[in-house]
A = this chain, B = another copy of it.
Amino acid sequence: MHKETQRLIELDREHTLIAHIGALLGWDQETYMPPRAIEERSSQLALIEGLAHEKAVNPEIGELLAALEAKTDLSDDERAYIRVVRRDYDREVKFPQEFVTEYAKAASMSQAAWAEAKRKSDFAAFRPHLERMVELNRQKAAYLNPSAKPYDVLLDLFEPGSTQESIARVFSVMKAYLVDILEKIRSVPQVADLCSGRRVDPAVQEKISRYLMKVLQYDRERGRLDVSAHPFTTTLGADDVRITTRYVEDYFPSSLFSTMHESGHALYELGIDPGPEFRGTKLADAASMAIHESQSRMWENIVGRSEAFWQKHFPAISALLGEAGEGMDCVSFVKSVNKVEPSLIRTEADEVTYGLHVIARFEIESALFDGTLKVEDIPAAWNEKYRTLLGVEVPDDRRGCLQDVHWSMGAFGYFPSYALGNLYAAQFWAALTIEVPDIEAQIAAGDTSMVLSWLRQKVHVHGSRYQPGELVQKVTGSPLDPVWFEKYLRAKYSRIYGF
């Protein structure tokens, strides 16, 4: 390893330590912090973020990168490492300070305006803020790469290597089959939801969550489960990755599947191991948000909502539920938690309609940045997409285009990752089932260790060594192909719905 790389690693590790300290401040704020501590906590966070920024824009990083990029004898790992360091460094240094300040101020005002507009279902009041955030995101893209399409630059921030065109291509295939499967499901009798309205004590739900963490081999020597308003996973160190869940008293599957979802994220983070030389560096970051999502969705859905999984674990859960679980068997439980029903919001959507929510937003974002849709026309476009894609009527903007915080923060290009995660998960799963043909039998016997060890070895260890496109090619032998998700959905839902 070159001495410049070693120095880069030193600087990087210090930055990582600071980032992890910031993560603890954030975790504590969401879990245990007494409410009135919020004011000083904001100052503590600002101080840590300031420090992290200071480390991130250190000109020495630029000099080391330049020196290394001129070399021809880099190892593969060095090359990958320099790529991710360059990427983050450019992001930190390419924005003028006044732009950063302006953006932060506008985003803050926009979020406040959004919250108020959502409450009143008043899109007109939010519109100027949204226009400003779109404009600022165009500028942001121009600072990063003035010669690329702005939306491509934004997408690349979340999913390295992706473009509007590449995503549109897979989404158009996905859209066709999601609509088709949804139609098929609508043509047959709906399954019963036996879980809604069943009151389950949060203490019981917590026991079930801990049971599931154990089944999934999420090591509590290196992690934790706590409660927060919105479930999340956070990394506080290479050996400290924590998840949260929440306990909805009259819908216990919520905590079960969010625990498995967040466990999937945590297992990924805990499995990253680009070797001791790169421990604590950016090479130990995840490959992308969509790859991250593929891990959470695989455990939540492909494993966690499968019949095989519950064959073994339903009796245990049932025992923990006690009276609250009466009148439900394994088959009816699995059907219940796989019920497909178009709704107004992605967050609680089933596996079939989930992608349609994402497509709706992607198509609107694309049109916005292409200039074929004006901000003022978003509500109409939104409602039309929900009508045609999901077959639901949006009653008001509060439950329509104002439903979600992302746009108000300026997070354009973020949503596709949610659906790409499902596609990656299905493609990884297909590869896994080919290599381990009896995987379903293993799961049905209560053993998911092969799933974890396969993911560890194929996906997790690499961290950000490969871009998502390279990774899926390396793991599965072919580029991202939405057909695997189609195969998975058709097999699963034809069984559940009998079509």
Contact = CB atoms under 8 A, between A and B. Distances in A.
Given A25-B21, A41-B237, A47-B14, A224 B36 contact: no
B40 A238 contact: yes
Given A34-B220, A221-B35, A224-B34, A40 B24 contact: no
Contact of A239 (B37, B51, B223, B236): B37
Task: Sort chain A's interface into a size bin.
Answer: 35 or more
A298 to B, nearest CB: 23
A267 to B, nearest CB: 14
A245 to B, nearest CB: 15
Interface string A234-257: 001111101000000000000000
Nearest to A238: B40
B17 A43 contact: yes
Contacts of A222: 34, 36-37
A33 B28 CA distance: 11
A18 interface: yes
Contacts of A239: 34, 36-37, 39-40
A240 B20 contact: no
Interface in A326-378: none
A386 to B, nearest CB: 41
A61 to B, nearest CB: 18
Contacts of A280: 40
Nearest to A16: B40
A32 B221 contact: no
Contacts of A35: 221
A224 B33 CA distance: 8
Copies of this subunit: 2
Nearest to A21: B44
Contacts of A24: 24-25, 28, 44
Contact of A237 (B17, B20, B37): B37
A221 B21 contact: no
Nearest to A40: B237
Most buried by B among A18, A20, A226, A242: A20
Q: Which interface residue of A18, A43, A222, A224 has the most chain B CB atoms within 10 A?
A: A43
A204 interface: no
A48 interface: yes
Contacts of A51: 51
Contacts of A48: 21
Contacts of A36: 221-222, 239-240
A47 B21 contact: yes
Given A28-B28, A39-B239, A239-B39, A20 B34 contact: no
30 contacts: A17-B40, A17-B43, A17-B44, A20-B40, A20-B44, A21-B25, A21-B44, A21-B47, A21-B48, A24-B24, A24-B25, A28-B28, A32-B32, A34-B220, A34-B223, A34-B224, A34-B239, A34-B242, A36-B221, A36-B222, A36-B239, A36-B240, A37-B236, A37-B237, A39-B239, A40-B237, A40-B238, A40-B240, A40-B280, A41-B240
Across the A-B interface, give the 3 residue pairs with the lowest CB-CB distance, nearest first: A37-B240, A40-B237, A36-B239
Interface of A: 14, 17-18, 20-21, 24-25, 28, 32-37, 39-41, 43-44, 47-48, 51, 220-224, 226, 236-240, 242, 280
